[in-house]
């Protein structure tokens, strides 16, 4: 069982980072979530897009095995990449938000 501590929410990234959930870049100025973990002798820091952090929380709450490799999941989703219905919903939301900002 892993111990998670030092959870932080950053409003604006000051450097280019890599999301450990979807493996897409977190660009300068984008918000992100990060936490430190310890699992036995394994210790590290995880950085995620805010929507990927929410997906990881949902994934953990579902009781499924919680180890993953970077890039296995789509951005903001806990379905495996390529098999994601949630991605279609997210893309639809993004197109609506983009249209709203253009007005």
Distance CA 57, CA 66 (A): 10
- For 19-48, the pLDDT digits (tens) are 999 899 999 999 999 999 887 788 888 899
Architecture in CATH of 3-102: 2-Layer Sandwich (3.30)
Note the Cα 11 to chain centre separation in Å.
15
- In whole numbers, what is the pLDDT of the chain averaged over residues? 79
- For 62-80, the pLDDT digits (tens) are 776 667 778 788 888 887 6
Residue 4 reports pLDDT greater than 60:
yes
With a threshold of 0.75, does the pTM exceed it? no
More confident residue, 77 or 93: 77
The residue to which tokens 């919903």 are assigned: 89
pLDDT of residue 7: 86
């Amino acid at each position: 069982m892993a111990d998670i501590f030092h959870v932080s929410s950053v409003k604006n990234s000051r450097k280019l980072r890599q999301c450990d959930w979807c493996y897409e870049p977190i660009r300068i100025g984008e918000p992100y979530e990060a936490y430190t973990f310890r699992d036995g002798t394994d210790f590290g820091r995880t950085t995620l897009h805010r929507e990927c952090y929410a997906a990881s929380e949902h994934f953990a709450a579902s009781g499924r095995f919680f180890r993953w490799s970077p890039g296995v999941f789509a951005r903001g989703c806990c379905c495996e990449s390529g098999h994601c219905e949630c991605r279609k919903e997210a893309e639809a939301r993004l197109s609506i938000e983009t249209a709203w900002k253009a007005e």
